Structure 1
Amino acid sequence: MRVSILVDFLRPNGAGLMALLQGQLLRDAGHDVSFIAAAASDEISSAIAESGIRISAFLHSEQPFDRTLSPRDFLTLREDARQWMQNELTSQNADILCVHNCGRLLDQHMVSDLSRQLPVVMTVHDEWFLTDAHYRLNIDSELVRSFEPHRDASLARHRYEHLDEVSARAGNLTIIAPSSWLFERCRRRFPGLRCIHLRNPVDPQLFDAMGRTEARSLLGVDQRVPLVMAVGNPREKRKGLGHLAQSMNLVEGNPILLVVGGSSSYVGQEASSFIEPGCLQAVLDENRVPDLRLHGYQDRAIAVGGCPRSMMRLLYAAADVVAHPSVMDNLPTVPIEAGLVGVRCLATDVGGTSETIADADGLFPHHASAEFLADRLAIELRRSRDETAEVRSERRKRQLHRFSPERHLELLEPLLESLVSK
């Protein structure tokens, strides 16, 4: 098959990673794969080209889309990018098109219209295709909706009639929902469309099992200090790191909080005494700032910004427990990756998170108090020190069974072939 994969921004995180892995799997299975992106950095474009996959990008940076533009200039830029995408798709003469969350540039009607030209498989990594907002969540007692490409977040002015026309406009369109939670929402919102539940894959080689002692030696982290790890930009409220920091202040033993995400690094005064020469120190020194808001847990906190993805395995393995207190998620990769490395994870029971966690009792209610979460963290920190290699190995096996690339391709390839044949 000739497969084109369409994304708005091809990034090394989130939906971008899923699109990249899907392209590699289909290429390895012998299919002719190409990427079409509105924006992709030269670094990512070169890496894809070196792997033997074609890539076309409208721009080499996302900045023109993010800068403050006049409404007219923004609409002109977006329309130019849309027309360029259409021309690229026509020139590639693909048998099928795989779309990954193009909410920044395309709308639901455009995706539906494309499915009248050729079969389209739309993977919905969040709620955008159903609601115009990537997420709907309560933050500080306020309901927040992250609308795209519509910039007006006011419900009084936001209109939804176009969503009622999606099914009627669609041709050969299939929706892939990575979680059961999102699958049920898609099925109810678009009863006239074909909806499939197919979990995202995760690269098991990148997140291979590893022991805590070895990981801390390579990183340069004190072997004795209790360590809780979280992944997410400290400035992103959806990640729930404020609630986690509040809970950490109540945990006996004053564990270190290691936050991986964002672009800036920070080391608290007390935390610095637990870092020794190693690869973690080198990354921290690259973009360290003197002060970073970590929600009131400054002194015993470490923030790792601009972390290379190749180091994530070491950071997971070094943790006693991984915490994922996200306010809303579809199919978060953090609990999956932690389990593949063999580490216990505590996560809020929201969205499709229950499908991603290796230990079912690792879920906690999203409305849990700081005291409740602090007690859970204290228990898991004690338990982790007694965990055997066999326990960590079994945790990895459970994740491999659900999220291996082989399992994903085994279900995806026949689906694409059947759609092309129709």
Structure 2
Amino acid sequence: MRILIVNTSEKTGGAAVAANRLKDALNNNGVKAKMLVRDKLTDDITVVSLGHEWQNQRHLLWERFCVFCHLHFSREHLFEIDIANAGSDITKLREFKEADIIHLSWINQGMLSLKNIRKILCSGKPVVWTMHDLWPAAGICHYAHGCCRYENGCGNCPLLPGGGSPHDLSAKVWKRKKEMLSHGNIWFVTCSQWLSRQAKRSGLLRGISVRDIPNPIDSHFFQPQDKQAARKRLHLPDDRRLVLFVSQRVTDQRKGMDYFVEAVARMAEEHPEMKGHTGIAILGGHAEELEGKLALPVYPIGYVSDQQRIRDVYNAADVFVLPSLEDNLPNTIMEAMACGVPCVGFAVGGIPEMIDHRKNGYVAAERDAADLAKGIRWVLDEADYKALSEAAAAKVLHSYSQRSVARQYLEVYNEAMAYKNFCL
């Protein structure tokens, strides 16, 4: 069986990391898989570039310009909206023709247009689409933020100026998607039970198979290692307990930095002794902007792409905190847990599916900075830390191993192929 996984980027972003790991998991478990990307960053022979860079850039810029116009030339929400009105036809590529199943992943920002996806569906090849957010099941948004309009056609979109209208851009794109999905055989997979519940409420996916399969991780690579050695390689202090925060862009409001800042301030005020023995390590772009905003000493690591260095960052930490306000199944929590680091996060999205409250970490009440602070303190000072650490690593081995995830996807692929053969 030959699988072609299609994703905009090879490495950049959580969906790219997850798609790449799935490709490796499949290849390591007897399934031939390749990845087709617009932005190829390595010399991995199992990753194929779309090519035509100037054309790809044109598709991206044209879509952004159209969104910009609909936003009345405001940058607010500019990158929260995707309309897929431009992209590349991949059906003529050799890799497409050789594949038994086309596996779509995150294909936004000029990778595939709705017209391109319809052509893929009309090709007769079975299509599996992994949802890393809600976009495939909604009009133009990636996260609903409490909006339920996607269930019955969108319109009056809160992301558009003035709250949109009944027949606004979101409604038009929703209708185009509905028509597109009426062609071909397609199976949807979500990375979390939370996203699966949302997707199944969508009017776009009525009558279409939706199941949840978590992202995989290479637990032979991400695993507990010597903490002091990791800190030495990163030039981090060895005489402090380190609280870790990670985000591709740490100033992203969805990642909940404001709540993290408030939680740290509460801890420093209520337990001033922490200033002498606890610090904050921050991994991600713009990390330096947070110096002076946190009430404990900050150690900005910056943006890191080297996987061994990222593994060191996790192993250097005592607790990992991700106060996301809406998230699917964060790779960062999985990576931290695989390294035996207890995690603290809000009870949102797929996070409570990953962190078992007071067993391998702490799940704080949503948007409650006081409870977030309580959770961090509980991990550092009250819990049986060794038991938490062991339970975190064990959860990853049981639920997110390459073998486990590959087996679940193989079931979907076999079902898709059986349906195709039945129709023939």
TM surpasses 0.5? yes
2:129 aligned with 1:122, yes or no?
A: yes
Q: CA deviation at 1:217?
A: 3.6
Residues 245, 282 of structure 2: 8 Å contact kept: yes
Post-superposition offset of 1:329: 0.3
CA contact (8 A) 1:181 1:351 kept: yes
In 2, distance between residues paired with 1:12 and 1:125? Answer: 14
Letter aligned with residue 144 of structure 2: R
Q: Which amino acid aligns with 1:260?
A: L
Q: What amino acid is aligned across from residue 137 of structure 1 in structure 2?
A: H
Within the alignment, does 1:394 sit opposite 2:399 as a pair? no
Mark the CA change 1:5 to 1:168 in structure 2 (over 3 Å): closer, same or farther.
closer
Letter in 2 for 1:246: E
- 8 Å Cα contact 1:228-1:322 kept in structure 2: yes
Task: Letter of the 2:373 partner, please give it.
Answer: A
Q: Give the gaps of 5 or more residues in structure 1.
A: 139-146, 267-291
Q: Look up the match of 1:19.
A: 19
Other-structure match for 1:223: 238
Cα distance change of structure 1 residues 215 and 408 upon mapping to structure 2, 3 Å threshold: same
Q: Is the 8 A contact 1:113 1:169 kept in 2?
A: no
Aligned to 2:280: 257
Amino acid at match of 1:178: C
The TM-score normalised by the length of structure 2 is: 0.78
Residue in structure 1 matching 2:198, options 164, 185, 200: 185
When residues 153 and 62 of structure 1 are mapped into structure 2, their CA distance, relative to the original with a 3 A threshold, is: farther
Give the CA deviation at 1:215. Answer: 2.8
Alpha carbons 1:5, 1:34 under 8 Å: kept = yes
Displacement of 1:336 after TM fit? 1.5
- Which whole-Å CA distance do the structure 2 matches of 1:93 and 1:23 have between them? 16
Give the one of 145, 170, 174 matched to 1:159: 170
Mapped partners of 1:312, 1:90: distance in 2: 32
Amino acid at match of 1:96: I
Q: 2:145 aligns with which of 116, 124, 137?
A: 137
For residues 106-121 of structure 1, what are the structure 2 equivalents within 5 Å? Answer: 106-107=112-113, 110-117=116-123, 118-121=125-128
C-alpha separation in 1, matches of 2:215 and 2:86: 31
Is 2:406 aligned against 1:409?
yes
Question: Does 310-319 or 85-94 show the bigger shift?
Answer: 85-94
Alpha-carbon displacement from aligned partner over 1:92-113 (angstroms, at most 9, x marks no partner): 3321100002132335565355
Q: Indicate whether 1:82 and 2:88 are aligned.
A: yes
Query: 2:376 maps to what in 1?
Result: 377
Q: Is the 8 A contact 2:230 2:315 kept in 1?
A: yes
In 1, Cα distance between equivalents of 2:66 and 2:257: 34
Asked if the contact 2:29/2:403 (under 8 Å) is kept, the reply is no
- Distance verdict in 2 for CA 1:116–1:25, change over 3 Å: same
What are the superposed Cα offsets for residues 324-362 of structure 1, whole Å, 9 maximum, x if unpaired?
101100111222211111111110111111112254561
Structure 2 portions without partners, runs of 5+ = 70-83, 147-153
Measured after TM superposition, the shift of residue 27 of structure 1 is 2.6
How far apart, CA to CA, are the structure 2 residues paired with 1:193 and 1:10? 28
2:294 is paired with a residue whose SS is: coil
CA shift for structure 1 position 401: 0.5
Deviates more, 1:323-332 or 1:248-257: 248-257
Partners of 1:72 and 1:301 lie apart in 2 by 38
Cα deviation, residue 185, structure 1: 1.7
Task: Give distance in 1, aligned partners of 2:356 and 2:67.
Answer: 48
Contact 1:348/1:365, CA 8 A, preserved across alignment: yes
For 1:130 and 1:23, locate their aligned partners in 2 and report how far apart those are by CA, in whole Å: 24
Offset of 1:192 from its aligned partner?
Answer: 1.2
TM-score under structure 1 length normalisation: 0.78
CA RMSD of aligned residues (A): 3.3
Separation in 2, partners of 1:182, 1:87: 33
Q: Deviations over 1:81-133 (max 9, x none)?
A: 423x2332686332110000213233556535522311100000011112221
Identity %: 20
CA distance in 2, matches of 1:219, 1:102: 34
Q: Which amino acid aligns with 1:401?
A: H
Say which of 392, 407, 415 aligns to 1:418: 415
Write the distance in 1 (CA, Å) between the matches of 2:141 and 2:3. Answer: 28
Kindly provide the CA deviation profile for residues 151-197 of structure 1, in whole angstroms up to 9, marking residues without a partner as x. x7344133325535258613210000111111122222122111121
Q: Does residue 100 of structure 2 align to residue 95 of structure 1?
A: yes
Q: Secondary structure at the match of 1:169?
A: coil
Superposed counterparts of 1:354-365, under 5 Å = 354-359=352-357, 362-365=362-365
Cα 1:192–1:65 shift into 2, 3 Å: same
Give the equivalent residue in structure 1 for 2:256. Answer: 240
- How far apart are the structure 2 equivalents of 1:217 and 1:223? 8
Deviation (angstroms), 1:79: 7.0
Taking the aligned partners of 2:379 and 2:115, their CA distance within structure 1 comes to: 47
Residue in 2 aligned with 1:59? 53
Q: Which residue of 2 aligns with 1:289?
A: none
* CA drift at 1:239: 0.7
How far has the Cα of 1:375 moved from its partner? 3.0
The equivalent residue for 1:3 is 3
Contact 1:246/1:296, CA 8 A, preserved across alignment: no
C-alpha deviation, 1:374, in angstroms: 2.4
SS in 2 for 1:256: strand
Q: Secondary structure at the match of 2:145?
A: strand
Q: In structure 2, what is the equivalent of residue 173 of structure 1?
A: 186
Q: 1:198-217 residue pairs with structure 2 within 5 A?
A: 198-217=213-232
| Residue of structure 2 equivalent to 1:28 | 28
**Matched residues in 1 for 2:194 and 2:85: separation?**
33
Contact kept in structure 1, 2:345 and 2:372, CA below 8 Å: no
Cα distance in structure 1, aligned partners of 2:54 and 2:401: 31
Counterpart secondary structure, 2:345: strand
- Give secondary structure in 2 for the equivalent of 1:392: helix
The answer to whether the Cα contact below 8 Å between 2:265 and 2:295 also exists between their aligned partners in 1 is no
State the Cα distance separating 1:198 from its structure 2 match: 1.0
Structure 1's 60 and 5: CA in aligned 2 closer, same or farther, altered over 3 A?
farther
Distance 1:61 1:329, change over 3 A: farther
User: Does 2:366 align with 1:366?
Assistant: yes
Q: Is the 8 A contact 2:246 2:283 kept in 1?
A: yes
In 2, the alpha carbon distance for the partners of 1:166 and 1:72 equals 21
